[in-house]
Amino acid sequence: MFLSQFQTIGSDLCARGLVPSHGGSLSIRLGERIIITRRGSMLGSLQEHDLIETGLNKNNRATPLASVELAVHRAIYRETPALAVIHAHPPHAVALSLTETEIVPNCAEGLAIIGKVPVLGWHMDVKPGGLDDVIAQPLKQCRIVMVHSHGSFAIGQLLDDAYNCTTTLEESCQVICLLKSLQVGTVEK
């Protein structure tokens, strides 16, 4: 039932280079249950067996198969009204996360969709599946966060909403990186 949604988003994330071949994760919340991508799955070619159903607060037999980021997805669902989460590794955003503590889009559309994006995890031991509370808390006020040297976590009511935040962040970061390479600041109007 949900497979086609996961396949569409996963395939496009992969085609845009926003996740490595076996990286990133997608999930949706259904009451007290979560459907999340399998640990190590290829988001670009998801199959039915790549979707793992587990509890929001309780483990079951399938839990060990879930993405390594399960703890983060669970924390986000407990702390926010989100019904969908996307974890990606957008390369320009990851690059900026190495030098910035906040990513501020310099175009009106980017600011309107994602606003200022905090970069979390500075001076912390960043490991996949870690920093769950550190990541979940800012998502009460914003739609997407970056984790220093790791990747983004975006939320929405639908996977499409979280996908829009993820692609908007990366497109904004591409512009910022281009301007930095040209050694130009924001354009004055």
Q: How many residues does the chain have?
A: 189
Question: What are 38-96's pLDDT values in tens digits?
Answer: 999 999 999 999 999 999 999 999 999 999 999 999 999 999 999 999 999 999 999 99
What confidence tens digit (pLDDT) does each residue in 23-35 have? 999 999 999 999 9
pLDDT in tens, 124-156: 887 877 799 999 999 999 999 999 999 999 999
Domains of the chain plus CATH, in order, are 3-181 (3.40.225.10)
**pLDDT for res 188:** 56
43 close to 10: Cβ distance less than 8 angstroms: yes
Contact 29, 70 (CB under 8 A): no
Cα–Cα distance, 147 to 135 (Å, whole number): 8
The two tokens of residue 52 are 């793992």
Residue 1 pLDDT class (50, 70, 90 cuts): confident
Report whether pLDDT(186) > 60: no
Q: If you search the block for the tokens 């007290």, which residue do you land on?
A: 32
Check whether 179 has a pLDDT greater than 70: yes
Question: For residue 130, what pLDDT is reported?
Answer: 78
**pLDDT for the residue numbered 25:** 98
Q: In Å, how far are 100, 127, 143, 164 from 81, measured between CA atoms?
A: 28, 25, 11, 17
Does the structure show a pLDDT above 90 at 12?
yes
Q: How far apart are CA 110 and CA 117, in angstroms?
A: 10
DSSP string of 107-130, one letter each residue: SHHHHHHH-SEEEE-TTS---TT-
* Residue 125 confidence (pLDDT): 84
Residue-by-residue DSSP string for 36-67? EEBTT--GGG--GGGEEEEESS---TTGGGB-
Query: Beta strands 51-55 and 33-37: pairing type?
Result: antiparallel
pTM: 0.94
